[in-house]
Amino acid sequence: MQTLGERSPKRLIPYLPYLGSSGRSRVAWLLAQLKPWDSDIRAVMFDLVGDASSWVREQVVLLLQQHGAIVAEEGTQLEQLLTRKASDLRRSVLGLLLKQPDEAAIASAQRLVEAKQAPQRQAGLELLREMVQQNRLTDRARSLATNYQTTRSKLTVTETQLLNGILQTETEATLTDALGLVKLDDLTPIAPPQVISTPIISTPAAIGCLTA
């Protein structure tokens, strides 16, 4: 790379498999400086999102986040990476999928929740939860979550938690429940005040005691 001179860094693409993690990261940075990105550069970038090195993945995701929204075909490619369990990879891919326009993002979520592999389905629920929190196509996101909840024969603890986060609706904060800090169902029921009538007992013996 030091002898590249004025030549295009695209000449380095065939040598990526032979470079170490720092070399791959450096090539990604050099390619990112070329504007606009052509199909070759975009293909390399999205391949490197799934790199074996977490350092390379992190650097490439930062470059992609600076570049702008991804296209539908790239979203589909990223979804395949969600079969893997590396937490940093999953966070990065979900972040990129969320940068898609609303329709493309909900389409990604639907494909993921309908996937055969559990890690992808969980990622789909995570994507739906983020869309609800961002007020993006909320009704459709909840509809997909409801369908998932009713059609899956068995839900994991994580899936149940994600579904609860998607389907719960926010209620207006009031002083009645201390702005949401108190669960009224956990409190001792408040008994309304009652007027108790006390019978007046008056007998000759009682009057005699009082007047004695």
Digit-by-digit pLDDT tens for the chain (212 residues) are 666 778 889 999 999 999 999 999 999 999 999 989 999 999 999 999 999 999 999 999 999 988 877 888 899 999 999 999 999 999 999 999 999 999 999 999 999 999 999 999 999 999 999 999 999 999 999 999 999 999 998 999 999 999 999 999 755 556 666 666 666 677 777 777 777 776 666 777 767 777 76
Residue 127 in any domain: the answer is: yes
Look-up of token digits 């609706």: 169
Residue 170 in any domain: the answer is: no
Residue 4 in any domain: the answer is: yes
Query: Considering 117, 132, 152, which residue would you say is the last residue of a domain?
Result: 152
Residue 23 in any domain: the answer is: yes
Radius of gyration of the chain (CA): 31
Are 54 and 77 found together in one domain?
A: no
Are 40 and 105 found together in one domain?
A: no
- Which residue type, as a one-letter code, is found at position 205? A
- Which residue type, as a one-letter code, is found at position 35? K
**From the CB of residue 68, how many other CB atoms can be counted at a distance below 10 Å?**
8
Are 125 and 137 found together in one domain?
A: yes
Are 94 and 127 found together in one domain?
A: yes
Residue 32 in any domain: the answer is: yes
- Say what the pTM is: 0.74
Query: Considering 33, 49, 68, which residue would you say is the last residue of a domain?
Result: 68
Are 146 and 118 found together in one domain?
A: yes
- At residue 197, the 3 state secondary structure works out as coil
For residue 38, the enclosing domain spans 1-68
Residue 93 in any domain: the answer is: yes
Q: How far apart are CA 73 and CA 134, in angstroms?
A: 24
Query: Considering 68, 91, 113, which residue would you say is the last residue of a domain?
Result: 68
Residue 10 in any domain: the answer is: yes
Are 59 and 102 found together in one domain?
A: no
Using the 8-state DSSP alphabet, how is residue 109 labeled?
H
Report the number of distinct structural domains present in the chain: 2
pLDDT for 90 equals 95
Are 78 and 140 found together in one domain?
A: yes
Are 133 and 114 found together in one domain?
A: yes
